[in-house]
Amino acid sequence: MRLTVLGASGTYPRPGGATNGFLVREGGTSLVLELGNGCLSNLLREARLTEIDAVVITHMHIDHFGDLYPLFYALRFHPDRPWGQRLLLPGDGLGIMGRILGEDSREYLERVFAPEVLEAGRDYGVGDITLRAFPTRHPVEGYALRLEGPGWRVAYSSDSSPCPGVEEAARGTDLFICEATLPAAYEEEASHGHMTSRQAGATAATAGARKLMLTHIWPTFDVLDIVREAGETYRGEIVPAREGMTVSLEGGWHVQA
Ligand SMILES: [Zn+2]
Ligand SMILES: [Zn+2]
């Protein structure tokens, strides 16, 4: 399993960065997890459009799905017409996307993409990877995910305040990718659907996750401060997500900057 960070910023990008996105590869399977603003460009450094088995969007906030628009046009006008791209997303995700498209483009959404509804407690198979969705605590419908492949388990919090769904997703995982939008001093602000550094660490500790990757840190905050604060509640190894970083779980834990 190789996981490449396509976008690591929360809500809006750092200079030269992108908002949320990850590419997960296992054997011949390629899964894109979130496709925020700026992610498609980074994705195309790693994979061809026609190699993507599925794209998964955890909730319909623009920093998690913004680059579905350029993906839509890249597929629609691709010379080989690789339409029917599998796309897992909550509720009426395509309907939400369609609101800002013209009538002529909107009608292609369900041809270019093959949408599937993401629901809590359901398992989804994507090639060699199995996904399970867990409910988050966020202003819109959203799902934390647990991904499983041969010999590994990875969880992703999506955007959420601490809650049983995220904890359950992360339970006993080899790697837990958790949002840590805000520093510890911002607990009140975080209570509206995000986590602080310390809450991310505490969730990872309670869930017994073996490694912790922090992501969705607001660009106005210092990443190293967030990592240090998360270390007050979590004793394992913590790594901040960075665009272009690759994590491999083959034969142990390897991070390549
Ligand atoms: Zn977000
Ligand atoms: Zn959100």
Summarised one tens digit per residue, pLDDT across range 125-136 is 999 999 999 999
How far is ligand 2, taken at its centre, from the CA of residue 216, in Å?
A: 10
Among the bound ligands, name the one nearest to the CA of residue 61. Answer: 2
How far is ligand 1, taken at its centre, from the CA of residue 251, in Å?
A: 32
Among the bound ligands, name the one nearest to the CA of residue 179. Answer: 1
Among the bound ligands, name the one nearest to the CA of residue 161. Answer: 2
DSSP state, residue 179: E
Number of alpha carbons in the 13 Å side-chain half-sphere of residue 25:
16
**Helix 103-112 and helix 68-76: axis angle, to 10°?**
80
pLDDT band at 254 (very low <50, low <70, confident <90, very high): confident
Residues near 70 by beta carbon (within 8 Å), at least 6 away in sequence: 40
How far is ligand 1, taken at its centre, from the CA of residue 168, in Å?
A: 20
Mean pLDDT of the chain: 96
Give per-residue pLDDT as tens, 41-76. Answer: 999 999 999 999 999 999 999 999 999 999 999 999
Among the bound ligands, name the one nearest to the CA of residue 90. Answer: 2
How far is ligand 1, taken at its centre, from the CA of residue 141, in Å?
A: 12
Mean pLDDT of 221-236: 98
Number of alpha carbons in the 13 Å side-chain half-sphere of residue 244:
4
Mean pLDDT of 179-193: 96
Give per-residue pLDDT as tens, 199-217. Answer: 999 999 999 999 999 999 9
How far is ligand 2, taken at its centre, from the CA of residue 61, in Å?
A: 5
Residue type, 127: G
Structure token digits, residue 122: 């359901």
How far is ligand 2, taken at its centre, from the CA of residue 190, in Å?
A: 12
pLDDT band at 256 (very low <50, low <70, confident <90, very high): confident
Q: What is the pLDDT of residue 239?
A: 96
How far is ligand 1, taken at its centre, from the CA of residue 81, in Å?
A: 31
| pLDDT above 90 as % of the chain | 96
- CA 205 from centre of chain: 20
Mean pLDDT of 150-178: 97
Neighbours of ion ligand 2 (CB under 5 A): 61, 159
Give the CATH H-level superfamily of domain 2-246.
Answer: Ribonuclease Z/Hydroxyacylglutathione hydrolase-like (3.60.15.10)
Give per-residue pLDDT as tens, 5-45. Answer: 999 999 999 999 999 999 999 999 999 999 999 999 999 99
Residues near 19 by beta carbon (within 8 Å), at least 6 away in sequence: 7, 9, 10, 11, 12, 13, 36, 37, 38, 39, 63, 64, 66
pLDDT band at 251 (very low <50, low <70, confident <90, very high): low
How far is ligand 1, taken at its centre, from the CA of residue 194, in Å?
A: 9
Among the bound ligands, name the one nearest to the CA of residue 60. Answer: 2
Is 0.75 surpassed by the pTM of this model?
yes
Do 19 and 57 form a contact (C-beta atoms < 8 A)? no
